[in-house]
Structure 1
Amino acid sequence: MSRERARRIALAPAQENIEKIKKVVEEGNYYGAQQMYKSIGARYISSDRYSEALDFLQSGACIQLENGQVTCGAELAVLFVETLVKGKFPYDDDTLDRIKKIYKKFPRISVPQHLDLADDDDMQQLSEALAAAKTRAEGCSSFLKAAIKWSIEFGAHRNGPPEIHDMLADYIYSESPESDMAKVSYHFVRGKNPKKFASALVNFMGKCYPGEDDLAVARAVLMYLALGNLRDANVLMDEMKKQVQVREVGERCFASFQYVETALQVKYRQRTFFNELLDEVAEKFYGVQRRNAMPGMFGDIFKMISGE
């Protein structure tokens, strides 16, 4: 019997090892469990038992995260994605669901509010909370960025799945101690939830420094337009106007909406105008039925030219 075959036989099924190490975690031995997850997971991979490795690492990531072991859970989550790459698993809905399940286990903990900054104990509590928040944000980001990279390589859209971009944007914004709206915007515009993006922007506008609100809104719209996504740019602006009016953020913030909206409307009118011109030319020269009649001045000009 070859050494490789002996190794494959000696390695127990994934579910058996999952139950075994779960007990170690329940005993509070998180470090010991982590070493077992990593070493046994590596053995499944070296034996080309990739499906079992995925089951094993997914379970480990979820269990560690459920117990508040963010660093350990994030490490196993990244190993899960690396196994997808090594096993050359194609991107599909089932694997996306597995990524979502791990993502949902990352904790969301609010930073303590109303602390006395002159009190040493409160300052220590705040410092620890901010450090923990940074760890959560970095761990989840590493996992989801790796997932995006894998998905692009193995069959997803060239920008990556919008669902993963939405997850990453939401977690960075809600959990990171520092609101980096450039990073948040980068992922939201590649997602498919402009209304949630609008909520994040309105929330940001209520707590940012003067001048940052205008920049954040303008950047969001321009990033959508750079991707050719005029629809979601419009949805974003409409939703932000609704939320600002309801929450009464203030006249100065609302003025920034009006400024960007004007630019957006101009671009939209230009696009509509050129579409109408193309329709008119197609009808006049190629007999193609126009999708809709051209109203206004340019329609009248074409009528005069054609002698109608």
Structure 2
Amino acid sequence: MVISLSSLKPAEMSSKRGGTSRVLVKLKKSVEEGKYYEAHQMYRTLYFRYMSQKKHAEAIELLYSGATLLLEHEQYGSGADLSILLAEVFQTSKAAVEDENIEKVAKLFQLIPQQIPERQTFLANSLRWAQQMKPPQTYISEIHRHVGIVLWKEKNFSGATHHLLRSNDGDSCGAMLVESHTQRGLASEVDLFVAQTVLQFLCFNNKSTASVTFYAYTANHPAIMSGPPFVLPLLNFLWLLLIAVDSGKLTVFTVLCEVYHPSLQRDPSYNVYLDKIGQVFFGVTPPPEPNGPPGMLGSLMRSFMGVEEESPEEPPPLTTEEVD
């Protein structure tokens, strides 16, 4: 069955939900009969018509239904194309960043395979939509949480960490890190896997999620039998640091770093993170940097805060590995 505009009755093109539903039924039948190209073109044609009439709710329903259906039929290019259009409608219409719409983003992100380049474009457009809201970070964090969980299920632990670090879901982050270490890490790295993430959360002034992540990891990792206090010095440092940030006492922070200096030398990046933590929680004056924070931490902070490095419209820059 080939769908054409002339085959759709005026009632089916109305703004009423019943009319939209009848259109979707016809398009679904076309897809199920294998008329993928015709269906894709009709979804796009109807999308442009709805947008010209400012029927944003109908456009959202049309695109989400079509993208889901095409992706489920392994028409990944067409499905991703409609997904990208959906994110654009969210932006144009200033649709509410509510659970229902965020779940649409998460579902389509999950359905688009990792190897499809448009997956990153869809995510970037979805984050731009969330950035329009006030305050934007609340909504951006929720999208990152859903995406992080999708990547975790795909065993993409690096990408999952990237996104969960930008969320407020410490329980999921801790559980993901446990799975990541037990499946990919060395026995000697049990403390390293959680240390970097906890320090990064603190650099973002997100002490509550840092704490939840730390305790979720240490309580559930099979190789960590007791604590606090812990057998591993680096875990003790993190435990005491989380307590110290509440006090804001620079002397306590300085002593902690001195006492645990040998453990902190295991990863050169820790010194960079601790410099930032000193500034955020203990009033340490940052060194003069006219062009903003340098190096790795500067890039990380710009990414987290949504500062664009390559494109004025691009949300937190993501590599292919981080997104896929």
**What TM-score do you get using the length of structure 1 for normalisation?**
0.63
Matched, 1:184 2:184: no
RMSD of Structure 2 on Structure 1 (CA): 3.4
**In the aligned structure 2, how far is the partner of 1:91 from the partner of 1:29?**
33
Q: Report the Cα distance in structure 1 between the residues aligned to 2:88 and 2:139, rounded to whole angstroms.
A: 16
Determine the C-alpha separation between the residues in 2 that align with 1:35 and 1:237.
Answer: 50
1:27 aligns with 2:6: no
- Percent identical among aligned pairs is 25
The one-letter code sitting in structure 2 at the alignment partner of 1:100 is: E
Letter of the 1:24 counterpart: S
**2:115 aligned to 135, 138, 142, which one?**
135
Partners of 2:89 and 2:28 in 1: how far apart?
A: 21
Partner of 1:190, secondary structure, is: coil
Match of 2:100 among 87, 92, 97: 97
What is the SS of the residue equivalent to 2:160? helix
Cα distance change of structure 1 residues 227 and 261 upon mapping to structure 2, 3 Å threshold: farther
Mark the CA change 1:104 to 1:68 in structure 2 (over 3 Å): closer, same or farther.
same
In 2, Cα distance between equivalents of 1:167 and 1:61: 18
Q: Label 1:195 to 1:159 Cα distance change in 2 as closer, same or farther (>3 A).
A: same
Give, in angstroms, the shift of residue 235 of structure 1.
1.3
Specify whether residues 105 and 84 from structure 1 end up closer, same or farther in structure 2 by C-alpha distance, changes over 3 A only.
closer
Instruction: Determine the structure 1 residue equivalent to 2:149.
Output: 170
- Contact residue 81 and residue 143 of structure 1 kept, 8 A: yes
Greater Rg over alpha carbons, structure: 1
CA distance in 2, matches of 1:150, 1:98: 11
Mapped contact 1:81–1:150 kept (Cα < 8 A): yes
Residues 79-121 of structure 1: per-residue CA shift (max 9 Å, x gap): 111012223x24342xx4133035336657xxxxxxxxxxxxx
* 1:66 and 1:105 in contact (8 A); partners too: no
1:121-178 deviation line (CA, Å, top 9, x unaligned): xxxxxxxxxxx95236x555543332222111133433643321111111223226xx
Instruction: Assess, with a 3 A threshold, how the Cα gap between structure 1 residues 133 and 55 changes in structure 2: closer, same or farther.
Output: closer
**Secondary structure, in 3 states, of the residue corresponding to 1:134?**
coil
Conserved in 2, the CA contact under 8 Å of 1:71 and 1:135?
A: no
The residue that corresponds to 1:227 in the other structure is: 204
- Say which of 103, 119, 128 aligns to 1:149: 128
Structure 2: 5+ residue stretches without partners: 1-9, 15-19, 251-324
SS class of match (1:158): helix
Deviation string, structure 1 residues 49-95 (Cα, Å, up to 9, x no partner): 222211211111222233343433232122111012223x24342xx
Per-residue deviation, 1:212:
6.7
Q: Which amino acid aligns with 2:54?
A: D
Give the match for residue 81 of structure 1: 87
Deviation at residue 209 of structure 1 after TM alignment: 5.0
Q: Secondary structure at the match of 2:166?
A: coil
CA drift at 1:229: 1.6
Indicate conservation of the 8 Å contact 1:68/1:107, yes or no: no
Q: Which amino acid aligns with 1:12?
A: M
CA distance in 2, matches of 1:40, 1:164: 28
- Distance, in Å, in 2 between the alignment partners of 1:237 and 1:258 is 14
Match of 1:268 among 239, 243, 247: 243
- Partner amino acid, structure 2, of 1:198: G
3-state SS in 2 of match to 1:206 = helix
Aligned length: 233
C-alpha distance in 1 between matches for 2:234 and 2:64: 47
Larger RCO of the pair (alpha carbons < 8 Å, separation 6+): 2
Contact 2:80 2:122 in 1 (8 A): yes
Q: Is the 8 A contact 2:59 2:89 kept in 1?
A: yes
1:72 corresponds to: 78
Matches within 5 A, 1:243-258: 243-244=220-221, 247-248=222-223, 258=233
Tell me, yes or no, if the aligned pair for 2:76 and 2:113 is still in contact at 8 Å. no
The letter of the residue matching 1:229 is N
CA separation in 2, counterparts of 1:173 and 1:270? 30
CA 1:226/1:257 → structure 2, altered by over 3 Å: closer, same or farther? farther
CA deviation vs aligned residue, 1:254-298 (integer Å, no higher than 9, x gap)? x897514413413522532649xxxxxxxxxxxxxxxxxxxxxxx
Q: Is the 8 Å Cα contact of residues 21 and 33 (structure 1) preserved in structure 2? A: yes
Whether 2:207 is the aligned partner of 1:206: answer: no
| Structure 1, unpaired ranges of 5+ | 1-8, 109-131, 276-308
Which residue number in structure 2 is paired with residue 12 of structure 1? 13
Q: What corresponds to 1:57 in structure 2?
A: 63
Q: Distance in 1 between matches of 2:140 and 2:46?
A: 30
In 2, are the aligned partners of 1:149 and 1:160 still within 8 Å (CA)?
A: no
Is 220-229 or 70-79 further displaced after alignment? 70-79
In the other structure, the counterpart of 1:158 is 137
Distance in 1, Cα, partners of 2:184 & 2:148: 18
